[in-house]
Chain A
C-alpha cells in the first residue's frame, strides 16, 4: 500500500497542467466578457465586440489544434485532413442557422434557404430535414465527422496504412470533399457556402450578449475537452496510445488490438474538430468550401508544431499565437504572411523540435540543474569574483 501512495504522489508531483490551464483560460475569457458588457465604451479597459469575436474564433481554432495534437502528438498519426472534420461540423451548424432564417431571407421562402430558391429548387433535400432542430443539428456536429473518421480510420488502420501514406490520403480526403462541396448540386450553397445567418436559439447573432455568450461557451467547452482529453491520455488507454506511437508492432505482441485503439482515438479527435467547427461558424458568420482546402489543414499542423506536440496546452498556445500573428501581419503586410508562416515552420522544426512548450520544459530543467549545481560550488564563485 505504501508503494501505491508513493506511486500516486510521484505522478501528481510531475505537475498536472489542467488546473493552471483551465484557470487562466476561464479568467481571461470572463475578464474579456466583463470588459465588453459592463465597462463603458470610452473606458480604456473596454473590450470591443470585434475583439470578443476574434477571441472566440481563436479559441475554436485552439480546439481544432487540440484535436490534431491528440492524434499527432500522442499517437503519431499526422493527419493533414483535419480541416475536413472541422468544416463538416461547421456545415452542420451552418445548416441549422440557415433553417433558422426562415422567411427573413432575401426571397422570403419560409422553408428553402435563399440559394435553393435561386437554383429553382422546389423541395428541401432529404439531408436538410431535421436540421431546424437544434439538438438534431448538434448531434450531426458530432456524428457526421465521427462517422467519416470511423469509416476512413477503419479502412486505413485496419490495412495498416501509416506514416506519409496516411498523411497523403487524409489530404486527398479533404481535397475531395472540397471539390464536392464546391458543386451547387450538392445542396450546400456551392462556392458561396452558407451565410447571412440571423439568430441562434432565438438570440440575434449581432447582439453583444450573444457574442459574449458564444465566447464563454467556446472557452468552457475548450476547458471541458481539455480536462477530459487529459484524463483519457493519462489513463492506461493513453499509455497504450503513446506506446503505439513509439512501436506499434510491439504493442500488438502485447495483446492490444492497435487498429481499434487508433480508430477510437481518430474518431474522438474528429468529433472535437467537429465541435470546433460548429463553434467557429456562428462567430465568423460564414462557412464555405474554402474551409476544406488542404492548405488550412496544413496550417493547423503548423500551429501544433509551433506550440509543441504531445502536451495539449502546447497546441492551444500555438494556435492562439500563430493566429494572433496572422491577424497582425495580414493587416500590416498582406502578401508577407505566407512567407512568415513558412519561415516559422522551418525555424521551429530546426530550433524548437518540441515547440514552445518544449522551451518552457527545457528552461525548467536547466534552471533546476543549474540550481542543483550552484549549491556546492557557490564558494568557488565567490572566490573567483
Chain B
C-alpha cells in the first residue's frame, strides 16, 4: 500500500480512530447477528485456503460447518481466534468489535472460546486445576497471583464437573484421562469460561457411540444461552444436532440451510459425489 492509501485509510470518515474509541466496547447484537465474516481471503503459498468467504452466525444459534479436508474449516477458526492473520476481509464480533485487531488472549477475553481438534488439556495438572485455569476471571498478572477461589467459583467448577461427568476424577491428573474424557474436559474448560461464542472443532473424534450421544445432548442444550459453531465430519452426529448447516468448499461457502436442504443441494451432490445431478 502506498502512503496515500494509508492516509486515506486513516482519514476514513465512517470510523473513529482507535484511541478515541471507548476501551471496552460491548458486544452489540442489535441485528441478532453475533459474528460477521465478510470477503475473507487467505492464501498459503498460492493455495487459497479461504476464498471470499462470507458467513453470518446468528446470536444463540447452533451452526454446523461441514466440508471435505482442506475446505478451510479449521483455518476459518484460526482466523476468528487470532491465531492466523488473514490477507483481506473483515471479521466482526457483534456490530462494533473488529476481531482482526486483537490478539489471541484478547479475543479469548472478549468471550470466544475454542476447542481444538486434538484435545489439548494440561496433562501435568489435575482436572480441577485445568478448570480453574479456564475460569472466567481477571487474567492479568497480579490478580492471577493473588487469586483465590471463591465458593461460588468452586460451585461453578463443581457444576461443570457434574455436567461433563468427571466429578469422580476431580483430583486426577488430566494426563491420566482417556481420550474421550479429555475431549469432555476440554469442553468443560470452555463451559467454565462462560464464552459468548464457542468454536468447537471435531468434538466427537475418537468417542464411543454413547459418548457421542451425550456430547450431542450437551451441545444442543448449550445453544440459546451461548452461540455454538461446530466443525464435524461425522454426518450422523451433524444430523442429530444441526438446525443450520453450512457447507464449505475450497475456502468459500457452497451451500447453507437445513440438513435436508443441504443434502439435496445440487452443488453439494456434485462436489461430494463428483457427478452432475
A: residues with CB less than 8 A from B are 1, 3-4, 7, 10, 232, 235-237, 239-240, 242-243, 245-247, 249-258, 260-261, 264
Contact = CB atoms under 8 A, between A and B. Distances in A.
Contact of B147 (A235, A246, A252): A235
Given A246-B124, A255-B193, A257-B103, 18 more contacts: A3-B158, A4-B151, A4-B154, A236-B132, A236-B133, A236-B145, A237-B145, A240-B133, A240-B144, A242-B124, A252-B105, A252-B108, A253-B114, A254-B108, A254-B133, A257-B105, A257-B139, A260-B141
Most buried by B among A242, A251, A254: A254
Given A7-B154, A232-B145, A239 B132 contact: yes
Interface in B89-103: 103
A258 B140 CA distance: 10
Most buried by A among B81, B144, B155, B193: B144
Given A254-B134, A255-B193, A236 B147 contact: yes
B237 interface: no
Interface string B66-86: 000000000000000101000
A252 B108 CA distance: 8
Interface in B36-50: none
Contacts of A243: 122, 125, 133
Given A7-B154, A253-B114, A257-B105, A264 B141 contact: yes
Contact of A246 (B123, B151, B189): B123
B163 interface: no
Contacts of A7: 128, 149, 154
17 contacts: A232-B145, A235-B145, A236-B133, A236-B145, A237-B141, A237-B144, A239-B125, A242-B125, A243-B125, A252-B104, A252-B105, A253-B83, A253-B104, A253-B114, A254-B193, A255-B105, A255-B108
A255 B103 CA distance: 9
Contacts of A232: 145
A198 to B, nearest CB: 42
Contacts of A260: 141
B161 to A, nearest CB: 10
Contacts of A249: 83, 104, 120
B71 to A, nearest CB: 22
Contacts, number: 84
A237 B189 CA distance: 17
A108 to B, nearest CB: 51
Interface residues on B, range: 35 or more
B81 to A, nearest CB: 6
B105 A258 contact: yes
Given A243-B133, A261-B141, A264-B141, A253 B151 contact: no
A239 B193 contact: no
A126 B14 CA distance: 54
B128 to A, nearest CB: 7
A253 B132 CA distance: 15
A251 B121 CA distance: 10
B139 A255 contact: yes
Contacts of B155: 3
Ranked nearest first, the 6 interchain pairs of A and B with the lowest CB-CB distance are A255-B108, A237-B145, A236-B147, A252-B104, A255-B109, A243-B122
Contacts of A261: 141
Given A247-B122, A255-B139, A10 B133 contact: no
Contacts of A10: 171
A237 B147 CA distance: 8
Contact of B189 (A239, A242, A254): A254
A208 B277 CA distance: 98
Interface string B177-217: 00000000000010001000000000000000000000000
A4 B158 CA distance: 11
Nearest to A263: B141
Nearest to B123: A246
Given A7-B154, A254-B133, A258-B105, A242 B122 contact: yes
A62 B108 CA distance: 40
Contacts of A258: 105
A128 B144 CA distance: 39
A249 B104 CA distance: 9
B44 to A, nearest CB: 18
Contacts of B129: 239
Nearest to B142: A237
Contacts of A1: 151
A1 B81 CA distance: 37
B101 to A, nearest CB: 16
Nearest to A245: B124
A146 B139 CA distance: 23
A232 B145 CA distance: 7
Contacts of A237: 141, 144-145, 147
A257 B108 CA distance: 10
Contacts of A247: 120, 122
